[in-house]
Structure 1
């Protein structure tokens, strides 16, 4: 559902507003009804999705499936791209290449704004509608991103910590499987803070 909303938002962003009609001009004759658009006809849009997670990963494979399903539902062409590993230099290069190809829209995750910010700003400055997903809720607006589809990271971790503390847990682990992913840092920080408020302790494994 999230990926469908993401593509729907960016399709709307690509659509040009209707030209105003002067009240001084006579109304144009009513056009003949157009033939119903075929449900199989592709729309002339090409989007690129660049994420920091690979489609082979159990989590990101679900995201990739969502991208494919949304592309089919919206009848648009979408390319899903990701670096071979969690690599911000390689991801920035993918975004730069995407911008150079002049797509109709770009969807990105933003695990590290310091590493990806220049590339994302370049897309915005080139007039390409950009929407972020998964990570980057705290920096999307300042980078010029139109909208973010995802959760607020600190609050998500904090909520998890509250629920675990309420379940009676006094010692917990927070696993950060991608060192350098600011979103995971924020989640673990929120989790740790909520647990600490309940008198519990957290060890972060990275």
Structure 2
């Protein structure tokens, strides 16, 4: 019996010693493994510092933190399609893990987006689509539908009769042209409505004021003006005030705080509101899903909201 106990203790001791060695080796292997490197993704915005794109960036940054990805937010200081394309090419050359970019012009952006896809870099379009490209998905507003909503607001405000001036953010950006197309499609149904001028603000607040003033000077019979980008309605408002044209009805786009204040005060009659924060966050979450092996929807349209100066909802705006 004593011999059996001695043998048992010997083997038990060997077992304990071996277990400790295994645990030590496991700890060393774990320590030797490189730290997990987060995915590196890039968001290319239309203009750094622009209030609308700042909301997009905020949504993307918050989602990246939640999804444990490193996000780099880049863009031109002043609106430049050529610089956006250069930044897209730079992201491809840097072999980033994923790209989110505005597809401002399908013809110009599609070849570059396709090059990213050929190099295995998943690319999403945001705010403006490049539908013929190899992008994984588009996240943003249905811009033609949003333009039709603008047109319906013009009809509602004028009763189907009036002279219209329109500011668009850019003459080369697909989203702006689609909104204009949608607006025209509604206006064309009413013989009493006439669009007399369309000008571009180049998403600049100062240029929006100048273009609106020039338009009112050239067409004093204008009774209503509409803008298709975030700063247009504010530019129209400032131009109308400087020319003492309080008779001009104004329909805008997006929900900059200054725009909402003007809607509350009845100086801007209505604005069509997008969801830029949601767009930024959703785009990042879609890349996360792609990296996890999930299939993505081809298109995710953001809901839009109409805010009018005579609406009870206006008073509940933040």
Q: Shorter-chain TM-score category? A: 0.7 to 0.9
Residue 191 (1) aligns with residue 175 (2) = no
Residue 60 (1) aligns with residue 53 (2) = yes
Supply the distance in 1 between the matched residues of 2:148 and 2:126 (Cα, whole angstroms).
Answer: 20
Cα gap change, 1:43 to 1:149, in 2 (>3 Å): farther
Residue 150 (1) aligns with residue 140 (2) = yes
Q: State the structure with more CA Rg.
A: 2
SS in 2 for 1:119: helix
- For residue 164 of structure 1, report the CA deviation from its aligned partner: 2.2
Contact 1:82 1:91 in 2 (8 A): yes
Contact 1:188 1:204 in 2 (8 A): no
Residue 108 (1) aligns with residue 73 (2) = no
Structure 1 runs of 4+ aligned residues shifted over 3 Å read none
TM-score, length-normalised on structure 1?
0.72
- Count of matched residue pairs: 162
- For residue 44 of structure 1, report the CA deviation from its aligned partner: 2.0
Supply the distance in 2 between the matched residues of 1:196 and 1:97 (Cα, whole angstroms).
Answer: 43
Gaps of 5+ in 1: 1-40
Supply the distance in 2 between the matched residues of 1:156 and 1:42 (Cα, whole angstroms).
Answer: 43
Supply the distance in 1 between the matched residues of 2:151 and 2:48 (Cα, whole angstroms).
Answer: 29
Supply the distance in 1 between the matched residues of 2:112 and 2:182 (Cα, whole angstroms).
Answer: 29
SS in 2 for 1:171: strand
Partner of 1:34: none
Task: Please point out which of 23, 43, 50 is paired with 1:49.
Answer: 43
Task: Please point out which of 156, 163, 176 is paired with 2:153.
Answer: 163
Contact 1:55 1:64 in 2 (8 A): no
Partner of 1:9: none
Contact 1:89 1:115 in 2 (8 A): no
TM-score, length-normalised on structure 2?
0.48
